Amino acid sequence: MTTASLRLALVGAPNTGKTSLFNSLTGSRQKVANYPGVTVERKSGGFVTPEGRSVTVLDLPGTYSLRGRSPDEEITRDIVLGRFDGEAVPDLVLCVADATNLRLTLRLVLELKRVGRPMMLVLNMIDIARRRGVTIDLERMSQELGLPIVTSVAVRKGGVDELLKRTDEFLARSHEAAASQWTTPTIADLKAAQREADRIIAAAVTLPTKPDTLTNRIDSVVLHPVGGLVILAVILFVMFQAVFTWAQPAMELLSDGFSALGQLIHDVMPEGWGLLQSFLQNGLISGVGSVIVFLPQIIIIFLFILLLEDFGYMARAAFLMDRIMGGAGLHGRAFIPLLSSFACAIPGIMATRVIDNRRDRLTTILIAPLMTCSARIPVYTLIISAFVPATTVWGFVNLQGLVMFGLYAAGITSALTVSAVAKFFLWRDHAPAPFMLELPDYKMPRLKSIAIGVFTRAKMFLYRAGTTILSMMVLIWFLASFPTAPAGAEGPAINYSFAAMIGHALEPLLRPIGFNWQIAVALIPGMAAREVAVAALGTVYSIEGGKEAADQIGQVLAQKWTLATALSLLVWYIFAPQCASTLAVIRRETGGAKWMVVTFIYMLALAYVASFLTFNLAQALGLH
């Protein structure tokens, strides 16, 4: 092999510690992207061997066979077979196996062998296997399989030294790939391969007489039909407390930092540079700032998700929630991403990567924005406090709180309904993926691997904030700022802008749902981030900013709007695709504009119909 860089591909069944191995080989030198046109994550990285050879590593989606039952598995198959466009065939296939659990991987190894690529078997987690009393005759197994075998402990320092050494040895020799003899296995092939794998295990592996009972003991508590749900609820409670309270100081710091930066620019810019100053302060800094503020929440959510995933709890949560979610046509694994969406739909949508099946994942992405995210809260509280009296109903329930609860409930109900409808109409011709997953043994999460994972997600989020989201923010600023107000004009400048023109143009369309042109105008900067609409309403109603601005806006709105309009706007905010960043993330995560457009249109239609009904019903009931 004389090429400059060796291409190495990691293949393996789920839960074999493939990702940990990838993390410890490449450290933070990772690139996460999507394969073109599909929702599948492409993870690549690089390292240099002890003898100074550079190696690129591709972490292929986990699979139990090369049959390609899902787009992820098709990618693994096509790359290994060298038929994936734009992706070079790997020079060396590393098949990663969990040394404590060889049955399923060995069958995959036998199948991979037929492909004919140079290959090496990595027995990962060998430390755990040894501790449990599993002894593996490596020489015998290597002989039976006809493959070199290395052991590794991906999560420990030095645990991949042997692998690195063997990679160097491999590179020192020349290798010829044999012609592929792989064909899609039939049931008989699978069974024969499994029998062969079981024979090799019987010949080379001695299992302990006493199996590991710790996992079983934990599971008897964690998967208890009642107790398990209570534990899940407690875990989620802690997670959300963390997301909202721990993140709060950091978010305030970021938010204050961005306003201070904006103000600084405002102050140091000379007079007459109004436009550039406005662009920097209102377009660039506050636009990007309003998204980056969510970074602490994103980091905390992913910290929890990755910890639970590494520990092995995520599969259990899916087990517990499967029937409950299944009623709405959702996969058990959709539970955590949807819950994360209560903080912000962006990490929720990013977290859908734990769902293997493409259709299940798309359904979850479609409904995630319907979960009441924290950016809706300022809008809800503003309108509720202005229009809903703080009276007590049924003796002890605060009416304002009840309305707030109703808005949350409406979001959840509609999300589940949309999912059921999508399952029925969109995926009717496709058999849904059955719930069938391995419950891996519990493992102590390794902090280094978690840290790399959180760092990668944070980097992805910031990259997005810096590219797609930034360009949307600039567009929205442009619409709200141009053309500038003529000299001596009365009223706020936004009233002369494109946003106002669009607002006026939209007014006839929005009148049936009770919106005036001021609301239409405020909805445009509200696309940047939902809560920005509050400030925008203040601007169009010419309210001076300041500490009491929100109270003043409320008072003005209470005079200018009817209750029917206010209710209609509340309902609008449950459904409307009022967040450019979420749409941008959907586009990135689904690998194309199609699902972003679908989300935008269905949410818009839902919002319009629901607001229309609310407004007209409220008017018919005489709520002026």
Partner 1 sequence: MTGDPNSSQDNLQDIRLGHADRGFVGKIIRLDALVTGSSLSPQELEQRLVEMGFVEGARVEILHEGTIRRDPIAVRVDNITIALRRSEAMAVIVE
Residues in contact with partner 1 by CB under 8 A are 64-65, 67, 69, 101, 103-104, 107, 187, 190-191, 194-195, 198, 207, 211, 215-216, 219-220, 223-226, 228-229, 315, 318-320, 322-324, 431-432, 434-441
Whether 342 and 367 have beta carbons less than 8 Å apart is answered as no
Closest distance of CB 217 from partner 1, Å: 11
**Hey, which residues does 9 pair with through a beta bridge?**
58, 93
Closest distance of CB 103 from partner 1, Å: 6
> In this complex, which beta carbon is closest to partner 1, that of residue 157 or of residue 428?
428
> In this complex, which beta carbon is closest to partner 1, that of residue 104 or of residue 470?
104
> In this complex, which beta carbon is closest to partner 1, that of residue 101 or of residue 282?
101
> In this complex, which beta carbon is closest to partner 1, that of residue 87 or of residue 98?
98
Closest distance of CB 323 from partner 1, Å: 4
Closest distance of CB 120 from partner 1, Å: 23
- Evaluated on CA atoms 162, 168, 169, 171, the torsion sign reads positive
CA 89 to each of CA 45, 78, 146, 177, 256: distance values in angstroms, whole numbers, following the listed order: 16, 9, 22, 11, 50
> In this complex, which beta carbon is closest to partner 1, that of residue 101 or of residue 167?
101
> In this complex, which beta carbon is closest to partner 1, that of residue 65 or of residue 372?
65
| Of 146, 140, 104, 101, nearest in space to 121 by CA | 146
What is the residue whose two structure tokens read 């959300």?
Answer: 240
Q: Rounded distance, CA 393 to CA 377, Å?
A: 22
Closest distance of CB 82 from partner 1, Å: 23
> In this complex, which beta carbon is closest to partner 1, that of residue 208 or of residue 512?
208
The one-letter amino acid at 411: G
Structure tokens belonging to residue 291: 């998204």
Closest distance of CB 241 from partner 1, Å: 24
Residue 620, CB-side half-sphere exposure with 13 Å CA sphere = 6
**Residue 370 DSSP SS3:** helix
Q: Rounded distance, CA 379 to CA 386, Å?
A: 11
CA 509 to each of CA 136, 512, 516, 551, 612: distance values in angstroms, whole numbers, following the listed order: 72, 7, 10, 29, 11
DSSP notation for 307-339 = HHHHHTHHHHHHHHHHHHHHTTT--GGGHHHHH
Structure tokens belonging to residue 19: 């990702």
**Could you count the other beta carbons within 10 Å of the beta carbon of residue 279?**
18
Closest distance of CB 318 from partner 1, Å: 8
Whether 472 and 519 have beta carbons less than 8 Å apart is answered as no
Closest distance of CB 590 from partner 1, Å: 24
Closest distance of CB 83 from partner 1, Å: 22
Whether 345 and 371 have beta carbons less than 8 Å apart is answered as yes
> In this complex, which beta carbon is closest to partner 1, that of residue 213 or of residue 391?
213
Closest distance of CB 154 from partner 1, Å: 20
> In this complex, which beta carbon is closest to partner 1, that of residue 246 or of residue 435?
435
User: Dihedrals φ, ψ of 356, to 5°?
Assistant: -75, -40
SS (H, E, C) 561-573: CCHHHHHHHHHHH
> In this complex, which beta carbon is closest to partner 1, that of residue 69 or of residue 448?
69
| Of 484, 463, 469, 605, nearest in space to 527 by CA | 469
